[in-house]
Amino acid sequence: MASTDLTSILPTLILAFVAIYGAGLSTYNFLNDRKKEKSQVSVDIDWLWDEEDFGGVVLRATARNTGWKTVTLDYLEIEEYIKPKRLRIISKKETFRRVVHVENIKSDNELLSGKKYEFVKDTASLEEESAWNMDGLSKSMDIIVVFVDQLGNRYKSKPLLSQNKLIFIEK
């Protein structure tokens, strides 16, 4: 039985290691370049107390360009996802989606890499457009803000739960 010497296999092992490393590095560079070509916008929403300008609670939406590509925002939508009070026979997870407010964004608003755009809406005007007073609906709803760019790409926030009417402070 012939035994193999380590010196005879070593060049083959080094070549295999270099080939695997090169393939991995090439794949990483390809995915990284592809990521740079995509527009990436993260959207955050929260409640904010602004007594000075609005006299109470406001909804603040922030769009941040986390990618390399410049994005030109066109408009934003504020959506409600409302859960019914009574369980339905067809689907227990049934929700109603409703666009509450649409706001055009200034035409000169380009989001460069690393920049942000903030939008603030007072809750008094949101309450008028909201579905709080519709019969058969619970007082629990999720609010989502969607920014839309000029190419039609939609960037959604995570849902912000609004459980009762206490967020709507009367002036």
Asked if 136 contacts 94 with a C-beta cutoff of 8 angstroms, the reply is no
Question: Do 95 and 149 belong to one domain?
Answer: yes
Q: Is the dihedral of CA 54, 99, 82, 161 positive or negative?
A: negative
- Our CA dihedral for 67, 72, 75, 77, rounded to 10 degrees, sits at -10
Q: In terms of residue numbers, what domain contains 5?
A: 1-37
The SS3 assignment for 154 reads strand
Which DSSP letter does residue 61 get?
Answer: E
pLDDT of the chain, 171 residues: tens digit per residue: 455 677 788 888 899 999 999 999 999 999 888 877 788 899 999 888 877 776 777 888 999 998 888 888 888 888 887 766 554 444 445 556 667 778 788 766 788 888 998 888 887 677 666 655 554 444 567 788 899 988 889 999 998 876 544 444 433
Asked if 121 contacts 59 with a C-beta cutoff of 8 angstroms, the reply is yes
Question: Which tokens belong to 142?
Answer: 């999720």
Total number of domains in the chain:
2
Question: Do 19 and 47 belong to one domain?
Answer: no
Q: What pTM does this model have?
A: 0.67
Question: Do 57 and 106 belong to one domain?
Answer: yes
Asked if 124 contacts 171 with a C-beta cutoff of 8 angstroms, the reply is yes
